[in-house]
Amino acid sequence: MPVDTITQLNKLFELQKKAFQLDPYPSVEVRIERIKRIPPMLKKYRSKIHAALDQDFGGHSDKASDLLEIIGLMDRAEFIAKNVKRWMKPKKKSGNLITLGNAKIYLKSHPKGTIGNMVSWNFPFEIALGPTIDALAAGNRVIIKPSDLGPACGAVLEEMINDTFDRDLVAVVNGDLELAKHFPTLPWDHLIYTGSGHVGKLVMAAASKNLVPVTLELGGKSPVIVHKDAVNNETIKSIASIKSVKRGQMCVTGDYCLVHSSKINEFVEKISAQFKNDFGADNNGAAHTCGIISEKHLMRLHSLIEDAENKGAKVINTGQENKENKRHMPFYVIVNPTREMKVMQEEIFGPILPIISYDTTDEVIQFINEDDHPLGLYIYGNDKPFINKICKNTQSGGVAINVIAIQAGVPSLPFGGIGASGMGMHHGEEGFREFSNQRGYFHKRKGGVYNIVMSPYGQKTDKLINDVAYASLGKQALFALKTLPRNIAALIGF
């Protein structure tokens, strides 16, 4: 057991805790400067990021690496740096002029302290650094735990962070399962975990022993609903293209499609052809996407396919099977699987797309609501009543119309799940608030009825209770008229 990594984590945790006590409210200038270190860091380590992703995934498109793991983070850092000053400003809250007088009431966002970030393997840089940007904007310090399934990415992440930040501000600790089990047991000021629901429950249980607030990004089975007016080449291309991102190993990808029964045969034929066209007869997917993260995960995906075949589903293999020592699994289409099949019980997280027919909008809503709330809900079509009815009668982390997953990449939109797909959110202003302590302030000034409601109680207190609070509207109005001039005078400074 690598005790040294646990010891290293504990020391870093104490180091950051002490550093935060010395600087518990960094200025806006300091926060922006810290955030602005990240884009140059990503550019400097671009080639190493490419190589690490390629190594861990058994092939990874450099273009996908740029788009998904580097450029998006640069945009996010720029957006947050531009807006953090505005988010830091106190928010005025209303008060009752009659009873509270000229009190100053406001909400101010304070840093929480030291944030722990447990990162999943599928987006090792984006998930490590995205919430870190939010946390730095909120004035916090961060310790990142990369997934042990991506050791090359973890090593590069540790190198680039050590090169860019002092360890008492941002640090990376790599380690195995024992470190992962220990990580959520520390008394963090906030903990974020991205990964499976099963592990998310364990993380939350461990964090609860210290009453640590958690943000959980867990995924789920995100449906793609296709109206009969949207079965066309543009829709097919869009669904297949997003499904190919990370070869389906993305929490916000479409997990299955619901297609109108009158169009399902056409849809199956077209999307199967699209996968074949995009990846070719030899399934050379690494040029556009990546490989499956591990042999274990590859075996799990094949077990889903075998289970569906054994239980009678129609399974279409759109490409050549894996080459020796490669994890380039081809895309599979499964037609009308049942709920009893594993492929409809688990989040797929791979190049498998179940397609299920429906006849009515109510059928769609019922099918979605019989499952846990998904991280994303996607609808293709131009029928506004159809779209509105589905959105109003279902719940999900986010929604996208005529596209998939883009809502998760917009810097200004919050990203998060609901129920089994997660809790809490990050990205944009909501991410800033998530990692902040929303501290309420009440500054007593002139006016109000404080002398009446504070002990020792007297006749005026009795009058306030009996002749005002429990009185008719007329008596209440009379009391207001008597006290209002005095409070207005306090408000304007007389």
- Measure the CA–CA gap between 57 and 356, rounded to whole angstroms: 30
Residue 465 · residue 167 · CB < 8 Å: no
Distance set, CA 6 to CA 154, 159, 184, 302, 424 (Å) = 16, 19, 12, 35, 27
Active site annotation includes 217 = yes
**Catalytically annotated residue among 69, 126, 153, 251:** 251
Residue 298 makes CB contacts below 8 A (sequence gap 6+) with 292, 322, 327, 329
Residue 284 vs residues 245, 319, 328, 443: alpha-carbon distances, Å: 14, 9, 7, 65
Alpha-carbon distance of 364 to 467, in angstroms, equals: 57
What number of residues does the chain have?
494
Question: CB under 8 Å to 203, separation ≥6 — which residues?
Answer: 118, 184, 191, 193, 214, 216
Candidates 217, 347, 429, 434; catalytic one: 217
| Number of CB atoms found within 10 A of residue 308's CB | 24
Measured CA to CA, the distance from residue 215 to residue 431 in angstroms comes to: 10
- CA separation for the pair 121, 251 (Å, rounded): 11
Buried b / exposed e over 242-266, threshold 16 CB at 10 Å, is: bbbbbbbbbbbbbbbbbbbeebbee
Torsion of CA 294, 216, 178, 60, to 10 degrees: 20
Pair of tokens at residue 252: 């916000």
Instruction: Just list the catalytic residues.
Output: 217, 251
